[in-house]
Amino acid sequence: MQDTQHSPWRFTTAPMMDWSDRHCRYLFRLLAPNARLYTEMVTTGPLIFGGEEQHRRHLQFSAEEHPVALQLGGSDRDDLARATKIGVDWGYDEINLNCGCPSERVQRGAFGACLMAEPSLVADCVKAMVDVAPSHIPITVKHRIGLDYDERYSFVRDFVGTVADAGCKVFIVHARNAVLKGLSPKENREVPPLRYDVVSHLVRDFPALTFVLNGGLTSAAQCVDLLDESTSTPPILRPHGVMLGRAAYHDSCCLTQVEQALFGTPVRTREAIIEKIIEYTAREIAATKHRSHPVRVRDVARHTLGLFAGQVGGKAFRRMLSDPLLLAENDPELFRRALPYQSQYDDHRQPFLDAMAG
C-alpha cells in the first residue's frame, strides 16, 4: 500500500478553463504552499504551430508556482509528444492529458471525455508522451468514471488498466460520468451522481497506481475525511489525494483550510496576501508593458474576489475590485485601497481561519 501521507498529489487544485491561469495559480500558491497546481487545458495546436508569443501566453508561469502541471488537450500521439516536449522544456513538473472535459467544443476536436471510448488511442498517446519526457516528469491522465449513462465499473477499470500499461501511473478521477449529449459542462459537474466508491475500487484493483479524487469537494472537513482511513468502519481504501476546483476559486478560505488541515501550514493574514499580490502585480505590469498582451490589474484582480467570501463587507470589497473605472487606472495600489472597504466589518489582519471561525 502506498504512503498517502507523503504523496505529491495529496492536495491538488483543478485545471479550470478561463480561471486557473498563471495569476490565479500565483494566488493559489500564496494560500496553499503545499498544493500541486494545474494549468488550464492547453490544446496542442498553439504549442506546435504558435511562435514565441503564443508559447509565452499559454505556458509562462512564476517560479513560485512549483510544483505545477501542464494539462494538454489533444488526441494525436505525435502532436501530444511534441507538446509534451515543449512543456518539459518550459519547466513544468508534470504533463497531464485531459480525458474528462465533456464540452461540445472539445468533442468536436475529438479529445477530452470522449477519448474514454478509445482506451487504446489514449494508451498510444500516453506512450508517446512518456517516451519524450524525462523519467522524473510524470505523464498523468484526468478522466471521468464513465460515459453517458453507462455505470459499469468494468468500463473505467479497463480504461485505467489499458492506459496504465502505457506508462501512466497517476490518474485524477472526476467521480462522475460524462454525459456527452444533452448536458452543458456546468450540468456535467452537477447532474451525474457522484460515485466515490468507484475510486475506492480502483485503489483496490490497482495498488501500484496513484488515484486522486475530484468532484463535489467543497470543504476541508470533506477532504480530510476522504483521506483519513481511520474514519470508516469497516475501513475502506482511500484515494491518495484530492483535487479541489471551483470551491477553492470562489472561497479562498476553503483552499487555506484544506492546506492547514492536511499540512499544518501557518495561515497567512489577508493583509499579507494582499501585499504579495500588490508586489506581484507591479512586477508583472513592468515586465510585460512592451508586449502585445501586457498584464493589467484587472487580469489579477478577478482572481482575488474570493478573498473575503462569506464575510460581512465582502461585497463592497468585490465591488471595488470590479469597478471598470478603478481598474482602468491600472494601479496595483487598488488592492490596498480596497482593504478599508472591508476592514470596517472584519479585521483583515486576522488569519483566514480566525475569520472563518467568526
Rounded to whole angstroms, the Cα distance separating 350 from 356 reads: 10
**Residue carrying the nine cell digits 487504446:** 120
Exposed e or buried b per residue across 163-182, where buried means at least 16 C-beta atoms within 10 angstroms of its C-beta: bbebbbebbbbbbbbbbbee
Angle at 340 between CA 356 and CA 301, to 5 degrees: 75
Give the distance, in angstroms, between the CA of residue 212 and the centroid of all CA atoms in the same chain: 12
Known catalytic residues?
101
Closest among 55, 105, 285 to 114, alpha carbons compared = 105
**Residue carrying the nine cell digits 482575488:** 304
Rounded to whole angstroms, the Cα distance separating 102 from 147 reads: 9
* 8 Å CB contact between 209 and 164: yes
